[in-house]
Each structure stands twice: as C-alpha cells, then as structure tokens.
Structure 1
Amino acid sequence: MKVGIVMGSKSDYGTVEKAEKILKDFGVEYETRIISAHRTPRAAERFASGAEENGIEVIIAAAGKAAHLGGVLAAFTPVPVIGLPVKSSTMDGLDSLLSIVQMPKGIPVATVAIDGAENAGLLAVQMLSIKYPELRNKMKAYKAKMEEDIMALDAEFNGGKQ
C-alpha cells in the first residue's frame, strides 16, 4: 500500500508533513514529491499517468492559491485523489479550497479542510482500508482511542459527572 503525496511548492511542506505523520503512524508507505500543475505540467502528467503502475493507490495533492494540482492529477489517473487546500496569504486559503472543491463532472477530487493535512492522511488510510483489513482494524482502534481520550477529558472537566 502506497500513497503519493504531491505538493505544488516547497512552502507547502509545513502542512504536508502532518499527513506524512499520520501515514507513518498507520504504517502506510508514502512518497512525497514537489510537482507544480502550472510550472511543471508535463511532470504532473507523468506522475499521475504512472501512479497506478508505480504502486500508488491514493494521491494527496496539496496546493495553495489557484490550487489546480489535484484536478490536473485526477485528470490523468484512475487513482483516487484527495485535495488538500493550503492556506496562503491570499484569502486565507479560501481561494485554494474553492479551486479544489469545484471540479467539473467526471474528474472528482475528494477535498479536506484548508490545512487539513491530518484528515487527508486519515482519509487516505480509510480509502486503503477497503482493501487492507489490517488498516481497517488500526482505524477502528484509532477512533476508539479518540473517543476514549475525549471521554476522559469530559470526565475531568465535569468532575466525573455523567
């Protein structure tokens, strides 16, 4: 199981590394690349066109501003693409979000929140868990632990009252 993480520029790495951590915690192999939809379109086409043959089963595409990367990659591959809008100085990332989420019919890109790298990683794990039962079990354990942690905080906050 392998996830391809693609970012439009090196400045997106501060966001992307949070997705890498999630994937690492779940034991999912990944590769991270810098490929621009606008400055290196042929490289984007080559990466996306070869993703399946290279063992990539899900792609996370992180981009800011015009944020066309996810859509460009999705146009060239049958592999699911998760768009990760990166907050930029322009419109606090709203421009990125809208660029990713407003895809034309036939080229879907799943989209997470602005700077929602953790959710991009988790969504990739959930997609992979359809095929890999061990990931499904890890995801169930992750969600149970999250619930347990919140319940403990609630008990602490409320002095143990139900």
Structure 2
Amino acid sequence: MGSDTDLPTMEKAIAVCEFFNINHEVAIISAHRTPERMVNYARNAHKKGIRVIIAGAGGAAHLPGMVASLTPLPVIGVPITTRQLNGVDSLYSIVQMPRGIPVATVAIGNAQNAGLLAVQILATSDPQLQNKVELYRQNLSQMVLDKQEQLDKLGYQAYLAGMKN
C-alpha cells in the first residue's frame, strides 16, 4: 500500500488471504516517497516466490501502475477512497494504464475483491485451492438463499427492521 492510511481498506484483502491460508506479506511502499524501495520490491518480488501483487493506493494512485511496469507478475490495483474525490481520482489513475502494462482493477475500496481475485489467480495452478474457491462461492449462494428464506418468512417490513438493528 502507498501509505499506512490505506491499511483499513487493505485489511480486507489480508483477511481473504488469511481465510484461504495464502502466505502473504503486508508492506508500505510509496511510489512517490520511497521510489527506490518500490523499484527494488517490484523487480524482485517474483524472485522471492510472490505470484500476485495487490497494490492499494489513493489520490494520484501511481503505485499499482508503477509496480506493474516493473514486474512480470499480475498486479491488482485497489483504488482507495479519498476525501477530495471519493476515490474516483484513484480509480481513474489505476485503470487508465497504457497498452502493455495491465493492472487488474477492482471497485473503489473493494480490497476484498482484490484478495479474491488474487486467490482465483493462484487457484489456476492449485486444484485444492480451486476447490476452496468453489466452496466459498457455494457458501455465498447459500447465504443469499438463506436471506430469501428469512424475507419470505418475516415479510419485508420485519426483515428490514431486523436489518436496521
């Protein structure tokens, strides 16, 4: 992440890695304040066994794109919500990469999806992990079906009142 203020957002990607028992590291690497560190990290990540990089950044949000330009690994950008433009500035900065330097980009503040995408990328070469992803998806489906069952049982007004509590 570009700053420690990004950690509350990026925590959700960390939680996904932990849920799926994915080895991971968490680092503060600013494209603007520690450019040499960023270059060294990005150029050597694959040599350390890292297989996917999730880079969260707000404002100018150069970290994901700069890292992507320096590494052969897939990079997933997480636009961090900003005070000035609600993260739209971050989103545009990350998503508008030039040809040849792709950065997968998730919704503003949605580090959970970045974590899930990283897991899915890793699962392409790990059948056990792929099975865990499939089970996770089945659980999501069941959660929606359970909510519908509750809605049918309670009616929308009681269900809505329960949501507010």
Query: What is the aligned partner in structure 2 of residue 22 from structure 1?
Result: 16
In structure 2, how many angstroms separate the alpha carbons of the residues matched to 1:134 and 1:36? Answer: 35
In structure 2, how many angstroms separate the alpha carbons of the residues matched to 1:16 and 1:159? Answer: 37
AA at the equivalent of 1:134: Q
Task: Point out where structure 1 has 5 or more consecutive residues left out of the alignment.
Answer: 1-6
**Does structure 1 residue 68 correspond to structure 2 residue 62?**
yes
In structure 2, how many angstroms separate the alpha carbons of the residues matched to 1:79 and 1:151? Answer: 37
In structure 2, how many angstroms separate the alpha carbons of the residues matched to 1:77 and 1:23? Answer: 21
In structure 2, how many angstroms separate the alpha carbons of the residues matched to 1:46 and 1:134? Answer: 32
Deviation at 1:158? 1.5
In structure 2, how many angstroms separate the alpha carbons of the residues matched to 1:66 and 1:41? Answer: 14
Query: What is the aligned partner in structure 1 of residue 26 from structure 2?
Result: 32
**Does structure 1 residue 82 correspond to structure 2 residue 50?**
no
Equivalent positions of 1:8-157 (< 5 A) are 8-157=2-151
Aligned residues: 155
Question: Normalised by the size of structure 2, how large is the TM-score?
Answer: 0.92
Task: Point out where structure 2 has 5 or more consecutive residues left out of the alignment.
Answer: 155-165
User: Which is richer in helix?
Assistant: 2
In structure 2, how many angstroms separate the alpha carbons of the residues matched to 1:82 and 1:21? Answer: 16
In structure 2, how many angstroms separate the alpha carbons of the residues matched to 1:34 and 1:90? Answer: 22
In structure 2, how many angstroms separate the alpha carbons of the residues matched to 1:90 and 1:36? Answer: 20
Runs of 4+ in structure 1 deviating by more than 2 angstroms, as ranges, are none
AA at the equivalent of 1:16: M
User: Which is richer in strand?
Assistant: 1
Larger Rg: 2
Deviation at 1:46? 0.4
Deviation at 1:159? 2.5
CA RMSD after TM alignment: 1.2
